[in-house]
């Protein structure tokens, strides 16, 4: 009941703000010289935006392209050739941790709108299809052209809205937004993340210290969504089988330490060889290491999109998340998705299984045998054997 009241109160607040914000002065519509792209999401979301940024640069080569992202994602765009400037914002609802007061997102909106007005943007793309806060921000910042999806709470803040398609891949949706703004076909560019030269030097040094294995497989088992995790015992069995023909490195961020510790305890008990790099690399170093891998295997998470952006083959295990919307943006023969055919999947609930299964049934139905078979096929293809 309280949740329903909060939703209704938010809808009322958003509609009231739109009415008020329309009275604020805006720049007159003109040539597209300064473009603002708003993307509040985490690592995978930002990487899946990069094809649209490439398309935007191709369509408007002389434009100033600025991207507004969360502080956690700045590194991903720092060396992107399609981007002129990266600004950061602690987007409400995307900052992990405790929620603030009800009115704080609206005060933050007004503060950032005042800052963005100085940018004198001619157009804004609200990249996330349900990001009503981003739509309000663009409106409050006085941007004359505001393009996004026809999501109920977002559409009234826009000057142009495309159909809200919950089945389309998010990258294709963003490419469609670029095409709608520029009136030019967007094509289908690949995802981009350019690590720094120092990151490449670090990866080369790490490989030299570990005898530069010819066939390195990275395993990325962690995820910010507990419902997306695959059981530790299965990772152990997978690694045990792959370790007979490849060198294994387990990767992850600081938040993945508990997940990886459970896996490594089982590996140590069986004396299975592996290397571990958890909480020990920057995103750029991780990308540079992935460049040198024959395969990266993991659940639905941001680092797998980093691997795709490096051109390395990936094997991705999907459960509650939608591979149709958030799967790898790349050639099917290089990037394979495994998912269980369960009636309730994908449900989109990443924090827990709504039916109370723990681990999530949609993840436990993905078998070790299926993952091993797919991994071996991708490895063979990478070596030019098939």
pLDDT of 358 strictly over 80 = yes
Per-residue model confidence (pLDDT) at position 68: 98
Sheet with 216-220: list strands edge to edge. Answer: 275-278, 247-252, 216-220, 295-299, 314-318, 335-339
Please provide the size of the chain in residues.
386
3-state secondary structure of 219: strand
Q: Quote the tokens at residue 348.
A: 């989109």
Half-sphere exposure of 122 (CA within 13 A, CB side): 13
Per-residue model confidence (pLDDT) at position 137: 96
Half-sphere exposure of 193 (CA within 13 A, CB side): 34
pLDDT of 12 strictly over 70 = no
Give the model's confidence band at 386: pLDDT under 50 very low, under 70 low, under 90 confident, else very high. Answer: very low
Tell me the average pLDDT of the chain. Answer: 91
CA distances from 367 to 124, 299, 339, 364 (A): 44, 13, 10, 7
Question: Which range among 158-172, 205-219, 247-261, 290-304 shows the weakest confidence by mean pLDDT?
Answer: 205-219
At 247-299, the pLDDT tens digits run 999 999 999 999 999 999 999 999 999 999 999 999 999 999 999 999 999 99
Q: CA-CA distance, 226 to 208, in Å (whole number)?
A: 35
How close are the terminal C-alpha atoms of the chain, in Å?
Answer: 57
Domains of the chain: 24-93+102-182 (3.40.50.2000), 197-382 (3.40.50.2000)
Could you tell me which residue, 12 or 251, shows the higher pLDDT? 251
Residue with tokens 């490895």: 379
pLDDT of 19 strictly over 60 = yes
**Residue 158: which residues within 8 A CB-CB, separation 6 or more?**
126, 135, 146, 147, 148, 150
Q: CA-CA distance, 85 to 283, in Å (whole number)?
A: 19
Contact 227/350 with Cβ under 8 angstroms? yes
- Summarize the confidence of residues 205-217 as an average pLDDT: 85
Give 301-324 as a DSSP string: SHHHHHHHHTT--EEEEESSS-HH
Instruction: Give me the phi and psi of 338, to 5 degrees please.
Output: -115, 130
By CB neighbour count within 10 A (0-12 exposed, 13-18 middle, 19+ buried), where does 249 fall? buried
DSSP 144: S
Q: CA-CA distance, 250 to 277, in Å (whole number)?
A: 6
Question: Which range among 71-85, 118-132, 174-188, 208-222 shows the weakest confidence by mean pLDDT?
Answer: 208-222
Per-residue model confidence (pLDDT) at position 166: 87
Q: CA-CA distance, 146 to 290, in Å (whole number)?
A: 37
Q: CA-CA distance, 113 to 24, in Å (whole number)?
A: 11
Cβ atoms within 10 A of the Cβ of 175, count? 24
- Summarize the confidence of residues 354-381 as an average pLDDT: 94
Pick the most confident of 25-39, 154-168, 330-344, 361-375. Answer: 361-375
At 74-109, the pLDDT tens digits run 999 999 999 999 999 999 988 766 566 766 888 999
Torsion sign across C-alpha atoms 289, 295, 298, 304: positive
pLDDT of 211 strictly over 60 = yes
Cα angle 84, 90, 91 (rounded to 5 degrees) comes to 95
Per-residue model confidence (pLDDT) at position 188: 86
* Among the listed residues 65, 55, 82, the one whose alpha carbon sits nearest the alpha carbon of residue 184: 55
Question: Which range among 34-48, 100-114, 146-160, 338-352 shows the weakest confidence by mean pLDDT?
Answer: 100-114
């Amino acid at each position: 009941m309280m949740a329903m009241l909060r939703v209704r109160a938010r809808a009322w607040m958003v509609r009231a703000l739109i009415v008020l914000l329309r009275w604020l002065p805006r720049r007159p519509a003109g040539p597209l010289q300064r473009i603002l792209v708003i993307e509040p999401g985490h690592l995978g979301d930002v990487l899946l935006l990069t094809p649209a940024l490439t398309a935007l640069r191709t369509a408007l080569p002389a434009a100033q392209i600025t991207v507004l992202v969360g502080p956690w994602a700045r590194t991903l765009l720092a060396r992107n050739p399609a981007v002129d400037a990266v600004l950061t914002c602690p987007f409400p609802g995307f900052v992990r941790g405790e929620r603030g007061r009800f009115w704080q997102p609206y005060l933050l909106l007004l503060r950032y709108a005042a800052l963005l007005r100085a940018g004198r943007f001619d157009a804004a793309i609200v990249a996330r299809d349900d990001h009503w806060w981003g739509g309000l921000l663009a409106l409050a910042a006085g941007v004359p052209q505001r393009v996004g999806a026809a999501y109920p709470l977002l559409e009234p803040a826009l000057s142009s809205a495309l159909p809200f398609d919950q089945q389309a891949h998010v990258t294709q949706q963003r490419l469609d937004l670029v095409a709608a703004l520029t009136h030019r076909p967007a094509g289908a560019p690949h995802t981009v993340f350019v690590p720094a030269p120092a990151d490449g030097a670090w990866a080369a040094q790490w490989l030299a210290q570990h005898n530069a294995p010819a066939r390195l497989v990275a395993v990325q088992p962690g995820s910010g969504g507990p419902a997306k995790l695959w059981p530790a015992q299965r990772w152990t069995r997978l690694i045990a089988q792959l370790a007979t023909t490849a060198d294994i490195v387990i990767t992850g961020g600081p938040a993945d330490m508990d997940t990886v510790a459970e896996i490594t305890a089982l590996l140590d008990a069986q004396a299975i060889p592996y290397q571990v790099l958890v909480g020990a690399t920057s995103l750029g170093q991780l990308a540079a290491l992935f460049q040198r891998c024959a395969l990266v295997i993991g659940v639905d998470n941001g680092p797998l999109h980093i691997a795709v952006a490096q051109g390395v083959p990936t094997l991705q295990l999907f459960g509650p998340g939608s591979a149709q919307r958030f799967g790898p943006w790349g050639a099917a023969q290089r990037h394979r998705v495994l998912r269980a055919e369960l009636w309730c999947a994908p449900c989109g609930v990443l924090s827990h299984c709504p039916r109370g299964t723990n681990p999530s049934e949609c993840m436990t139905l993905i078998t070790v045998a299926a993952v091993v078979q797919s991994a071996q096929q991708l490895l063979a293809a990478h070596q030019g054997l098939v």
